[in-house]
């Protein structure tokens, strides 16, 4: 492991940066609630593909950035992403052999879990949002997962990120 050169850290950094940009990209009012959790999806992918490199620590860092981008209380997304990364780490061998739609189902569960944790923190602070559409991002994220997976996999192979 030690002898292997660690290629393409910049590819991972770029993908996270693009995910953050997509998170703050202005959307029309009606689409605002359906914005997928880009950062979560990217973190899930990299933890699954390179578990020896990307783990709970990186997920925590990404969560902190996400907190600032969304103007949330520092740490709420960090906590949620840490838990999501931990579960992905435990499941990564199984996830890799699943067909895409089944991966999508697991992603639905993971993103819903993330939102649940965020909702929990928000509830503590007395800021809990109302309405069923709070859960919409989980569904949209799961539907987008196959495409994101294919794009990131091709990028990873092309730049030989190990």
Partner 1 sequence: MDHRQHHLESIRGGISLLLSPLHYLVNLPVQIGEWAGETLATREALQEENTRLRSEHLSINARLQRLAALEEENARLRALLKSAPKVAEKLLIAELLSVDFDPFTRQVMVNKGSSHGLYEGQPLLDAHGIMGQLVHLSPVNATAMLITDPSHAIPVQFNRSGLRAVALGTGAAERLEIPHIPNNADIQVGDLLVASGLGGRFPAGYPVARVIHFEPDPTQPYAEVVAEPSAHLERSREVLMVWPVGWEEEAEQ
- Minimum distance from CB of 146 to partner 1 (Å)? 25
Asked if 24 interacts with partner 1 (CB under 8 A), we say yes
Asked if 17 interacts with partner 1 (CB under 8 A), we say yes
Q: Which of 74, 100, 143, 151 binds partner 1 (CB under 8 A)?
A: 74
**In the block, residue with structure tokens 């909702």:** 119
> What is the Cα–Cα distance from 139 to 145, expressed in whole angstroms?
10
Burial class (CB within 10 angstroms; exposed 0-12, middle 13-18, buried 19+) of 114: buried
Q: Which of 20, 47, 49, 111 binds partner 1 (CB under 8 A)?
A: 20
Asked if 134 interacts with partner 1 (CB under 8 A), we say yes
Asked if 140 interacts with partner 1 (CB under 8 A), we say no
Nearest to 49 by CA among 20, 80, 85, 1: 85
Asked if 135 interacts with partner 1 (CB under 8 A), we say no
Two structure tokens written together for 64: 């902190």
- Minimum distance from CB of 68 to partner 1 (Å)? 5
Nearer to partner 1 by C-beta: 5 or 126? 126
Name the site residues for partner 1 (rule: CB under 8 A): 17, 20-21, 23-27, 29, 32-33, 35, 64-65, 68-75, 125-127, 129, 134
């Amino acid at each position: 492991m030690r002898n292997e050169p660690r290629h393409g850290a910049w590819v991972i950094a770029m993908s996270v940066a693009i995910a953050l940009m997509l998170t703050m990209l202005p959307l029309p009012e009606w689409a605002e609630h359906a914005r997928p959790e880009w950062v979560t999806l990217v973190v899930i992918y990299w933890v699954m593909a390179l578990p020896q490199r990307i783990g709970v620590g990186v997920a925590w860092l990404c969560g902190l950035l996400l907190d600032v981008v969304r103007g949330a209380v520092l740490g709420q997304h960090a906590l949620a992403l840490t838990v999501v990364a931990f579960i992905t780490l435990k499941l990564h061998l199984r996830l890799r052999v699943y067909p895409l739609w089944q991966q999508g189902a697991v992603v639905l569960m993971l993103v819903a879990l993330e939102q649940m944790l965020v909702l929990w923190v928000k509830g503590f602070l007395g800021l809990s949002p109302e309405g069923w559409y709070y859960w919409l991002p989980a569904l949209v994220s799961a539907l987008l997962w196959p495409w994101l997976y294919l794009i990131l996999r091709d990028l990873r192979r092309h730049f030989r990120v190990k």
